[in-house]
Amino acid sequence: MRTLTILGATGSIGESAFDLVMRAGGPQAYRVVALTGGRNVARLAEMARALQAEVAVTAHAEELPALRLALAGSGIEAAAGPQALVEAAARPADWTLSAIVGAAGLAPGLAVLERGGTLALANKETLVAAGRLVMATAARTGARILPVDSEHSAVFQALGGEDAAAVARVTITASGGAFRDWPVERLARATVAEASRHPNWAMGQRITIDSASMFNKALEVIEAREFFGLAPERIGVLVHPESIVHALVEHVDGGVLAHLGAPDMRHAIGYALNWPDRRPLPVAPLDLAAQGSLTFRAPDEVRWPALRLAREAMAAGGAAGAVLNAAKEQALDDFLAGRIGFSDMAARVEGALDRAAGEPGFCDSPADLDSVLAWDAFARRTARIAA
């Protein structure tokens, strides 16, 4: 029986993965090694019971008593804290989904790669903050990374096994998020509630706000560069409000292969779960006649400075990905807490990148986890003040 682990099981991606695993037969179809979560220990325990997991882990030490209580009598182990997350990820499993949000996903993801496992990666922050280290670790241990971000899954599928380095151009699409059609002057006054409404995708709150600011696409451009080894000038972004075409792969002979589908993450998660096979998934069939039309436009870098910052970070290389990601996480925390406005987020990230560029060692790609975490801490400290 195939064994699997879900890191970040209680989140939006984690719930979709849980749904797919339950539909496939749950514990009759898979042996579940570990499930991890954060604050929602009641749901974590419920999932662990339904899947008869070996161990359930919360990221927060203070939640351990509640998790133990919720698992009482089940025989399922309970553990807590960041080190327990890494230990859970290090336990052998055939397939591990990383659906933790933020840089907290990096250490557990690396633990999967260190043991040579298959890592289905939704946590794009892992590749943005530590792309070189992550890819080098996978190459050294023989681990496999399967993309779960919908655009990257779409590129992976459209490539059909061809080497990304040989294609002319890869384009990922963006819905444009909540403020696609707002007057640019209004963005500075956008509220958290307004930024948390995505027109097409149901996702966690952080990635939904990152879609409105286009930081999500900025992270995804860097993710594509790191994962597929594409030169930055060969990665494009198109605003596509319908979210039906997820990515386009343009070959050197002018042939373009697009990946289309309803905006439902269960396709990309299920594709990675069943890879290299394809199995039916509970995703609505695509009805292009009902859809009628698909529209595309070039992204506006005045409205969305995050895209320019991604290009600058790729040009800088070195620690820029780690700094951009962590500064963005800090700026988002500050926006969520009401300390800064929506448009201040990009200014904070830009300020952190500028200051980091003057630091010794910035031009070198972080070679180990400690070095990534040091840049991460620097970026958070700096983003709190750098405007």
The contact set with Mg ion (CB under 5 A) reads 149-151
Contact 95, 119 (CB under 8 A): no
Q: Does 39 bind ligand NDP (CB under 6 A)?
A: yes
Shortest separation between residue 206's beta carbon and ligand NDP, angstroms: 6
Strands (E), the chain: 2-7, 30-37, 55-58, 77-80, 95-98, 118-121, 144-147, 169-174, 235-239, 245-250, 256-260
Shortest separation between residue 25's beta carbon and ligand NDP, angstroms: 23
Six-digit token string for 363: 């031009």
Shortest separation between residue 49's beta carbon and ligand NDP, angstroms: 16
Q: Does 104 bind ligand NDP (CB under 6 A)?
A: yes
Six-digit token string for 35: 């499930």
Cβ nearer to Mg ion, comparing 111 with 122: 122
Q: Does 57 bind ligand NDP (CB under 6 A)?
A: no
In terms of Cα–Cα distance, which of 220, 219, 176 is closest to 198? Answer: 176
Binding at 234: pick from ligand NDP, Mg ion, none (beta carbon under 5-8 Å per type): none
**Which range of residues in 111-119, 121-129, 333-341, 375-383 is near ligand NDP by CB under 6 A?**
121-129
Cβ nearer to ligand NDP, comparing 66 with 386: 66
Binding at 273: pick from ligand NDP, Mg ion, none (beta carbon under 5-8 Å per type): none
The 218-257 contact track toward ligand NDP, x by CB under 6 A, reads ----------------------------------------
Q: How many helices (H) and strands (E) does the chain have?
A: 16, 11
Binding at 382: pick from Mg ion, ligand NDP, none (beta carbon under 5-8 Å per type): none
Binding at 57: pick from ligand NDP, Mg ion, none (beta carbon under 5-8 Å per type): none
Which SS3 state, helix, strand or coil, does residue 121 take?
strand
Binding at 99: pick from ligand NDP, Mg ion, none (beta carbon under 5-8 Å per type): ligand NDP
CA angle 165, 309, 314 (to 5 degrees): 30
Shortest separation between residue 322's beta carbon and Mg ion, angstroms: 20
Distance between CA atoms of 248 and 246, rounded to whole angstroms? 7
> C-alpha distances in angstroms, 384 versus 66, 275, 334, 354, 381?
33, 42, 8, 14, 6
Shortest separation between residue 61's beta carbon and ligand NDP, angstroms: 12
Six-digit token string for 260: 């289309």
Identify whether 285 is preceded by a cis peptide bond (ω within 30 of 0).
no
Q: Which residues bind ligand NDP (CB under 6 A)?
A: 8-14, 37-40, 59, 85, 99-101, 104, 122-125, 149, 201, 203-204, 206-207, 265
